[in-house]
Structure 1
Amino acid sequence: MVNQDYIETIKKRRSIYALGKNVADNNEDIAQLIQSAIKESPSSFNNQTVRAAILFGESSDKLWEIVAERLKSEVPDEESYKATRQKVDSFKAGVGTILFFTDDDIVQQYQEQLSLYAENFPIWADQANGMAQINVWQALAANDIGASLQHYNPLIDDDVHTAFDIPESWNLRGQMPFGSIEAPAGTKEYMTDDARFKIFK
């Protein structure tokens, strides 16, 4: 019988929205865990296009204040903004946030060097970023740290680059707030297998 241990680990990774600061691990260990997960994630031609900014404490708070302020001009009325602000504050309540980027300079470099695959490199870079995101998310979950994946880019891109001195070539792809799990995720529903899979023998 095949080993299902990894599947059980995968099941621990859920979108956790009730985050807190009650994490036993210190910031240095968490940062090392995140870096290792990204370094061990695959990329096309091992071109390592994924970049990350790991924000803790006040830096993470600063990011979510940027999001909240930017959304003021996008949300139509004050009542709607209250709900939006509450959502943003739930991300801010965690220990930190990971900003995932793609280094577009590396993508362009490989497009020029391997022109036969030029159209594919942006796609492969997105795939690499997604794999890094899931590996980080999985590593956090394995250590009982909750997280979710958010996408306020490109709305906040310019402000993020300025606030955190991010290189111009780093293209923001996602934000992952993380922290202690203050409430579990809801029950996950699944499509039927016959709607998702085809097995040929």
Structure 2
Amino acid sequence: MKTQLLDLMEQRRTIYALGENVSQTPDEISSVIEGAVKQSPTSFNNQSIRAAVLFGKNSDKVWDIVEKRLESEVPNADAYKKTQEKIASFRAGFGTVLYFIDTSVIAQNEKDFALYADNFRVWAEQGLGGAQQSVWTALAENGIGASLQHYNPLIDVEIRNAFNIPENWELRAQMPFGSIEAVAGDKDFMSDDDRFLVIK
């Protein structure tokens, strides 16, 4: 069996120590991200996944919004300082991908295929997960580190206003990316016997 894809998936790790020392241009990175999203499957090929790729000051603005918004959520000044340090690590990267689900597509599917109406939201989330995995792996293949963050819905309104995001795009995740300034640690796995069934 060929294992090239598995080898690439092993390179995809959560990288928190990000930097701006990438060799690729924003256009090259955007092209890879767009291609990975486009080639990722969605239910009924409804193509419900949306993404915004931000660089430079626009990427920084995402994390400025997160930092400011979280100030009112943390219990005390010490906790907020730790939060600021974490956010600074995301801001230190080269860019950020914002992931969305197009709710108008979901609503139309629910109307057109009433028999499956209760499933389209779940299927959209599955499609989003596949797209995120594809982007993350494609970035890793090019030596670019990333992590996946979830500060929605706390920041939804501010993000929509800051970047003129359509009302029907629902924010689901944020992916800061950049050069790998420190590699991820070893990854532990649970027992295969507890995780898989192989029925012949």
* Shared fold, TM over 0.5: yes
2:109 paired residue number: 110
Code of the residue aligned with 1:197 in structure 2: it is F
Cα distance between partner residues in 2 of 1:105 and 1:181: 37
Q: Superposed, which structure 2 residues align to 1:178-193 within 5 Å?
A: 178-193=177-192
* Secondary structure of 2:130's aligned partner: helix
Deviation string 1:11-44 (CA, Å, 9 cap, x unpaired) is 0000000000000000000001100000000001
1:71 CA displacement: 0.2
Cα distance between partner residues in 2 of 1:99 and 1:137: 13
1:113 CA displacement: 0.5
2:25 paired residue number: 26
Unpaired runs of 5+ residues, structure 2, are none
1:43 paired residue number: 42
Cα distance between partner residues in 2 of 1:197 and 1:134: 21
1:4 CA displacement: 1.6
1:101 paired residue number: 100
1:17 aligns with 2:16: yes
Cα distance between partner residues in 2 of 1:10 and 1:136: 11
Cα distance between partner residues in 2 of 1:108 and 1:12: 37
Cα distance between partner residues in 2 of 1:40 and 1:3: 20
Cα distance between partner residues in 2 of 1:128 and 1:174: 13
2:170 paired residue number: 171
1:7 CA displacement: 1.0
Deviation string 1:133-183 (CA, Å, 9 cap, x unpaired) is 110000000000000000000010010000100000000010000000000
The TM-score with structure 2 as length reference comes to 0.99
Code of the residue aligned with 2:5 in structure 1: it is Y
1:81 aligns with 2:80: yes
Cα distance between partner residues in 2 of 1:129 and 1:199: 27
Code of the residue aligned with 1:192 in structure 2: it is S
Cα distance between partner residues in 2 of 1:45 and 1:181: 37
* Secondary structure of 1:66's aligned partner: helix
* Secondary structure of 2:2's aligned partner: coil
Q: Superposed, which structure 2 residues align to 1:133-172 within 5 Å?
A: 133-172=132-171
1:198 CA displacement: 1.1
1:7 aligns with 2:44: no
Code of the residue aligned with 1:174 in structure 2: it is A
Code of the residue aligned with 1:139 in structure 2: it is A
Cα distance between partner residues in 1 of 2:18 and 2:160: 25
Code of the residue aligned with 1:138 in structure 2: it is T
Unpaired runs of 5+ residues, structure 1, are none
Cα distance between partner residues in 2 of 1:55 and 1:114: 35
1:120 paired residue number: 119
Code of the residue aligned with 2:61 in structure 1: it is K
Identity of aligned residues (%): 54
